[in-house]
Amino acid sequence: MTPLETGGLTLFILVLLFGIFSILFGFPGTVIILMDAAIYAAFTGFDRVGAKTLLTLLILSILAEVTDFALGMAGAVKFGASRKSYWSAAIGGVIGAALLIPFLLGLGAVAGAFFGGLTGVLILELLRQNRLKPALRAFWGSILGRAAGIFLKGVFALMMAVITLTGVYS
């Protein structure tokens, strides 16, 4: 293996690991893994990672993203949040990311998106129900749903990484 090939493989594996790790911060890590595998396949002439593997990764990525979204919403709704809470979480996430982007070398945007989204749910539920206890219950449901979504998305990402690396090293 030439040094250029070794460097390319190392970069491929690092991006694969970044995709797995990025899920903890709310990034679409499964999409990062899919794109990484597609780029690697294109550079290697689809020799080690073929169309069948890429199709499998695409299906797993879609399932992971849908599952993450569904669990987040189900957790919030089960604990009393309204369906409007999703939109308030999205708006709060954007505002939080914009406010915290200057901190932690830009990584504050990730924390801002997470905490802004949760704050959006809390504020909307406080305005909707005019009581703290039900609003905190909906807030807690959002946290639990999001945690379950991150966990399952992480499982999907690990499966995708194993499938990809199996194709590369077989």
Q: Each residue of 61-107: pLDDT tens digit?
A: 999 988 887 887 788 778 877 777 777 877 887 888 788 877 766 66
The confidence score (pLDDT) of residue 161 equals: 96
Contact yes or no for 68/54 (Cβ under 8 A): no
The pTM of the whole model exceeds 0.85 = no
Question: At what angle are helices 51-78 and 132-169 packed, to 10 degrees?
Answer: 170
Report DSSP state, residue 46.
T
The confidence score (pLDDT) of residue 10 equals: 94
pLDDT single digits (tens) 20-65:
988 887 778 899 999 999 999 999 999 889 999 999 999 999 999 8
CA–CA gap between residue 121 and residue 8 (Å, rounded) = 43
CA–CA gap between residue 43 and residue 153 (Å, rounded) = 27
Question: Would you kindly state where each structural domain of the chain is located, as residue ranges?
Answer: 3-169
The DSSP element (H or E) to which 62 belongs, if any, is helix 51-78
